[in-house]
Structure 1
Amino acid sequence: MASYFDIDFKELWKAITYRGFQKLALQYVGFGLKEVLRSFFPRLQVSTLQQYVPEITASDIQRGPSGVRAQAMNIDGSLEDDFVFHRETQCELGCKILHCRNAPSPGATSSLAIAKMIADKCHVEFNLS
């Protein structure tokens, strides 16, 4: 299990020097600090959890692994909520390449809908009949 001190400093430096991250962090500094405190002191989460499960107590809380969700961020600090498409324009393959970035892991529930959206986007981008 990873610990708080399992840090890739090169990756951390790249993140904190990115202008978009700096803008986002400044905008949500209070929220971010509360989340850090809650991660170090899980008992601080109880009142928030009680909004959803009133019976929950500190003894019900157990430390577990943290999750990481990759999120595309723009230079202005705004987050991309959905798919970002980028058409390749300089290539030797006739430029029929469409990149899909920031694709959330949908599981089986929406994979067909996502495939249709990508197919529709290809029809528009590449003038397919």
Structure 2
Amino acid sequence: MEIRGLRKLVMRYWRLGTQEALRSLLLAAQVRQLQRFVPELQPSDVTRGPTGVRAQAMDTDGRLIEDFVFAQGEGEMGRRILHVRNAPSPAATSSLAIAEMVADKARDTFGWTTQ
């Protein structure tokens, strides 16, 4: 893990991170935030559910990477593998346009030709 990048990310978004943590702990704080969009919403309308986590890559400057990261391994076997990392949203993994982009990258990386 790149600690310098993590420190920069935390320092850049400390206020937002604190607010998110408070809203996850205090249901009333979350409801107040939601009332910006649905003013009639009340705490009795909301129930807690499981918390989700979405992994996202970050660079060494602490900036979140918003796109796919392509990489190959090393050695004879590693060069035959194309890793696609950092799917920025669950929907992106089922997009035909993104599938085409990944296929194009694989074709270019491995020198494949279309017939």
Aligned to 1:11: none
> TM-score, normalised to structure 1's length?
0.74
State the secondary structure of the residue aligned to 1:85. strand
Quote the offset at 1:113 in angstroms.
2.6
Letter matched to residue 70 of structure 1 = A
Query: Is the contact made by 1:74 and 1:80 (CA closer than 8 Å) also made in structure 2?
Result: yes
Q: TM-score, normalised by structure 2?
A: 0.82
Distance in 2 (CA, whole Å) between partners of 1:39 and 1:94 is 42
1:58 to partner: Cα distance? 1.9
The answer as to 2:98 corresponding to 1:98 is no
- 1:122/1:51 CA distance change after superposition, 3 Å: same
Q: 1:126 aligns with which of 93, 110, 115?
A: 110
> Matches of 1:36 and 1:94 in 2, distance apart?
40
Shift of 1:47: 2.4
Count the aligned residue pairs.
112
Q: SS where residue 100 of structure 1 aligns?
A: strand
Runs (4 or more) in structure 1 with deviation over 3 Å come to none
Question: Structure 2 matches for 1:1-129, cutoff 5 A?
Answer: 18-88=3-73, 90-93=74-77, 95-103=79-87, 104-106=89-91, 109-110=94-95, 112-129=96-113
Shift of 1:84: 0.5
Question: Which whole-Å CA distance do the structure 1 matches of 2:59 and 2:81 have between them?
Answer: 22
Once residues 78 and 50 of structure 2 are traced to their aligned partners in structure 1, the CA distance between those partners, rounded to angstroms, is: 45
**Alignment root-mean-square deviation, CA:** 2.2
SS in 1 for 2:90: coil
SS of the aligned residue for 1:92 comes to: helix
| Unaligned ranges ≥5, structure 2 | none
5+ residue gaps, structure 1: 1-13
Say whether the 8 Å CA contact 1:86–1:100 is kept in structure 2.
yes
